């Protein structure tokens, strides 16, 4: 085994959190090695026509993880036999420098105290009996006020385009009036709606709702961020999710924080470095570094470090903790153990509208195009009691791009193939729009992650097993959002309407979102969490975890905002407090 010289910090993963911490630590003079299991990206990788190859990139997932190397096994219930998730569908795991930020949609939200203090707020408003006995929600141990300056910092670094709805307590029509107070307006104005967004916003507004432009990391105008990184203006090319940005307009770690870190002599990025284990000393209470395999040469390596931070995709962080034997894996029968507990996903619903007399030009689009409303999630005045659920949903248009393989909507009753299908596809390609909802998922006793007893990855390690299904709470949320969608859709008087319906059970086959959360949850003490609010592992105080695996539940919002804000907050306390006096940052 090859052993390297000890460094101050080793980062596992080169996405948003690895890039943020790498930049912050190296600029503070700390020696940092960032290990990324995938390869690097060059400017040619995102160039035209290469990045417009919908078959290779959008359908064959050239920017995603190869599931023959590593994946999860999945099942809905513990009584079932889990099988490997080999064909990417429900969620898409990225690979390479920048991680999922190279091919994300860019949607960026500020989660607030409705999420961070979820149990306390629901018990205060609805009573303790309102929360189902097997729903394992808990407060996060963090507040919006603590994260606000870090949200602000990330929005400037990533180049978020949007319209604020609450600046220092002043509500602003046209933005999200249900958001928590922010100190500043967004760095750039919002992207244009597009025709579908205009129709949705008008109809929703007439019904008393509060539509606004979707916040997104797509530059609406040429922009230079605080680190001097120059963004191009979004070209509305229709190739965002699953694709890299040809115009350098979509904020990602590979073009912002990682290049800034690489300018520091104390930062080193190693690609094709697949970490297989976090190593500890004889006491088990101190991490000594990580073991990884160079996937090009096959050589096994050990990188010693004073501080280890797991910055991979959330599911991978949980898996690495399990393979390293750190913490007790959750047992849903006894309720013991915390590793793998509170795994969550997202729910939703969608309708497709067809118009004889309207043209939407879906090929002129971007990930953040369209209007959305937060009346049923961020709006704490919305009374959940009549519907009987915890959480909520956001509702809006989602016209991401009319790419020919993926976008061919037809009304109900259309043949699935043949000349009639071709005629209907040609007719409705430009005459269709959708309205979608994204809903919260709460943690339940029977939804969890553990190690599979049968299947193994390319290194011979057990795959992680996912046991997950929607519960009554999520079915109620989905039914409510479907009703809202259908009422707005009916107000637009389409020629044909494929109505939204409630999701009943989770399937791994159709894409839904890459918003997988939980498994190494944060909390207030070692009895209810794997880490404290800074991501510091209670059992091993020089081991930190970043990313959505920290989330005790999942919101209706996309997770990137708090993922980045928590990383910036953790970087600050590690630089300014932990380094001077290593040890527990919170005693509980």
Q: Which of 82, 24, 109 is nearest to 557 (CA)?
A: 109
Tokens 């107070």 found at: 181
CATH number of 260's domain: 3.50.50.60
Contacts of 62 (CB under 8 A, 6+ apart): 56
The percentage of the chain sitting over the pLDDT mark of 90, rounded to a whole number, equals: 89
Q: What integer best gives the mean pLDDT of the chain?
A: 96
For the whole prediction, is pTM greater than 0.95? yes
In this structure, the dihedral spanned by the alpha carbons of residues 211, 216, 221 and 225, taken in order and rounded to 10 degrees, is 140
- pLDDT-based confidence at residue 330 (cuts at 50, 70, 90): very high
- The C-alpha angle with vertex 273 and arms to 585 and 464, in degrees rounded to 5, equals 70
pLDDT in tens, 138-189: 999 999 999 999 999 999 999 999 999 999 999 999 999 999 999 999 999 9
Confidence at residue 197, expressed as pLDDT on a 0 to 100 scale: 95
User: Is 451 within a domain?
Assistant: yes
In whole angstroms, give the CA distance from residue 566 to residue 272.
27
User: Is 440 within a domain?
Assistant: yes
Q: Which of 579, 519, 583, 574 is nearest to 549 (CA)?
A: 519
Q: Which ranges of 76-131 would DSSP assign to H, the alpha helix? A: 113-116, 118-126
Number of Cβ atoms within 10 Å of the Cβ of 86 = 11
CB neighbour burial string for 37-61, b if at least 16 within 10 angstroms, e if fewer:
bbeebeeebbeeeebbebeebbeeb
pLDDT in tens, 372-391: 999 999 999 999 999 999 99
User: Is 587 within a domain?
Assistant: no
Instruction: Please name the helix (run of DSSP H) or strand (run of DSSP E) that holds residue 491, with its range, or none.
Output: helix 472-491
- pLDDT-based confidence at residue 398 (cuts at 50, 70, 90): confident
Number of Cβ atoms within 10 Å of the Cβ of 501 = 15
User: Is 27 within a domain?
Assistant: yes
User: Is 586 within a domain?
Assistant: no
- pLDDT-based confidence at residue 46 (cuts at 50, 70, 90): confident
For residues 505 and 345, is the Cβ–Cβ distance under 8 A?
no
Confidence at residue 344, expressed as pLDDT on a 0 to 100 scale: 98
Q: Catalytic residue at 103?
A: no
For residues 534 and 587, is the Cβ–Cβ distance under 8 A?
no
Confidence at residue 57, expressed as pLDDT on a 0 to 100 scale: 87
The alpha carbon of residue 179 and the mean position of all alpha carbons in its chain are separated, in whole angstroms, by 19
pLDDT in tens, 536-586: 999 999 999 999 999 999 999 999 999 999 999 999 999 999 999 999 999
- With 80 as the cut, is the pLDDT of residue 133 above it? yes
User: Is 214 within a domain?
Assistant: yes
What is the tally of structural domains in the chain? 1
- Residue 164: give the domain boundaries: 2-580
User: Is 588 within a domain?
Assistant: no
E-strand ranges in 337-468 read 347-354, 371-376, 393-396, 432-439, 448-456, 462-467
User: Is 273 within a domain?
Assistant: yes
For residues 531 and 544, is the Cβ–Cβ distance under 8 A?
yes
Confidence at residue 400, expressed as pLDDT on a 0 to 100 scale: 80
What backbone phi and psi angles, to 5 degrees, belong to 451?
-95, 135
Q: Which of 78, 125, 166 is nearest to 374 (CA)?
A: 166
- With 80 as the cut, is the pLDDT of residue 44 above it? no
Kindly name the residue from 515, 525, 553, 587 that is annotated as catalytic. Answer: 515
In whole angstroms, give the CA distance from residue 226 to residue 284.
41
- pLDDT-based confidence at residue 45 (cuts at 50, 70, 90): confident
- pLDDT-based confidence at residue 368 (cuts at 50, 70, 90): confident
Confidence at residue 161, expressed as pLDDT on a 0 to 100 scale: 97
- With 90 as the cut, is the pLDDT of residue 13 above it? yes
Confidence at residue 498, expressed as pLDDT on a 0 to 100 scale: 97
In whole angstroms, give the CA distance from residue 104 to residue 92.
10
- With 80 as the cut, is the pLDDT of residue 43 above it? no
In whole angstroms, give the CA distance from residue 185 to residue 206.
26
Report residue 530 as tokens.
């794997």
In this structure, the dihedral spanned by the alpha carbons of residues 305, 286, 517 and 69, taken in order and rounded to 10 degrees, is 60
E-strand ranges in 99-256 read 166-167, 170-171, 211-213, 223-224, 230-231
pLDDT in tens, 493-544: 999 999 999 999 999 999 999 999 999 999 999 999 999 999 999 999 999 9
pLDDT in tens, 221-243: 999 999 999 999 999 988 988 99
Identity of the highest mean pLDDT range in 60-69, 101-110, 433-442? 433-442
For residues 511 and 90, is the Cβ–Cβ distance under 8 A?
yes
Q: Which of 557, 439, 436 is nearest to 485 (CA)?
A: 436
Q: What is the largest CA-CA distance in the chain?
A: 72
Cross-strand pairs, 496? 354
């Amino acid at each position: 085994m090859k052993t390297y010289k000890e460094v101050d910090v080793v980062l596992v993963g080169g996405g948003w959190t690895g890039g943020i911490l790498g930049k912050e630590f190296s600029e503070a003079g700390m020696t940092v090695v960032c290990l990324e299991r995938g390869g690097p990206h060059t400017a040619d990788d995102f160039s035209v026509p290469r990045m417009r190859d919908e078959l290779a990139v959008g359908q064959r997932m050239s920017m995603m993880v190869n599931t023959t190397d590593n994946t999860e096994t999945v099942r809905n219930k513990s009584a079932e036999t889990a099988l490997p998730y080999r064909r990417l569908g429900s969620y898409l795991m990225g690979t390479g420098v920048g991680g999922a930020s190279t091919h994300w949609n860019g949607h960026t939200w500020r989660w607030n105290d409705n999420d961070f203090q979820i149990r306390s707020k629901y018990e205060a408003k609805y009573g303790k009996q309102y929360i189902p006995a097997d729903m394992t929600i808990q407060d996060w141990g963090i507040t919006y006020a603590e994260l606000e300056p870090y949200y602000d910092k990330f929005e400037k670094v990533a180049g978020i385009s949007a319209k604020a709805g609450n600046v220092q307590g002043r509500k602003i029509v046209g933005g999200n009036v249900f958001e928590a107070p922010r100190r500043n307006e967004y760095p750039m104005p919002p992207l244009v709606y597009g025709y579908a967004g205009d129709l949705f916003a008008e109809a929703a507004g007439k019904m008393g709702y509060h539509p606004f432009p979707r916040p997104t990391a797509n530059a609406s105008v040429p922009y230079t961020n605080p680190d001097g990184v120059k963004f191009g203006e979004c070209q509305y090319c229709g190739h965002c999710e699953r694709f890299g940005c040809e115009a350098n307009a979509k904020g990602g770690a590979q073009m912002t924080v990682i290049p800034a870190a690489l300018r520091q002599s104390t930062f080193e990025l190693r690609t094709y470095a697949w970490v297989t284990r976090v190593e500890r000393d004889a006491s088990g209470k101190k991490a000594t570094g990580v073991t990884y395999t160079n996937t090009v040469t096959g050589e096994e390596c050990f990188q010693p470090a004073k501080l280890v931070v797991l910055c991979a995709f959330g599911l991978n962080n949980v898996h690495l903790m399990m393979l390293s034997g750190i913490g007790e894996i959750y047992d849903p029968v006894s309720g013991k153990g915390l590793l793998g507990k509170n795994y969550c996903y997202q729910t939703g619903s969608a309708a497709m509208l067809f118009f004889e007399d309207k043209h939407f030009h879906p090929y002129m689009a971007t990930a953040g195009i369209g209007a959305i409303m937060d009346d049923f999630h961020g709006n704490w005045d919305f009374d959940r009691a009549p519907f009987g659920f915890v959480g909520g949903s956001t509702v809006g248009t989602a016209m991401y791009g009319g790419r020919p393989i993926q976008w061919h909507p037809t009304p109900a009753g259309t043949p699935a193939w043949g000349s009639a299908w071709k005629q209907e596809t040609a007719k409705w390609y430009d005459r269709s729009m959708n309205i979608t909802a994204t809903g919260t998922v709460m943690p339940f006793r029977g939804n969890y992650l553990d190690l599979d007893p049968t299947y193994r990855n390319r290194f011979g390690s057990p795959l992680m097993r996912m046991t997950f299904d929607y519960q009554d709470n999520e079915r109620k949320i989905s039914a409510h959002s479907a009703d809202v969608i259908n009422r707005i859709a009916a107000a637009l008087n389409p020629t044909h309407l494929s109505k939204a319906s409630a999701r009943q059970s989770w399937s791994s086959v159709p894409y839904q979102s890459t918003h997988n959360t939980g498994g190494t949850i944060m909390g207030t003490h070692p009895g209810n969490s794997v880490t404290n609010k800074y991501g510091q592992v209670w059992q091993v105080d020089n081991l930190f975890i970043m990313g959505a695996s920290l989330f005790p539940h999942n919101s209706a919002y996309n997770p990137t905002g708090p993922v980045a804000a928590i990383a910036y907050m953790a970087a600050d306390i590690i630089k300014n407090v932990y380094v001077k006096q290593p040890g527990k940052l919170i005693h509980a």
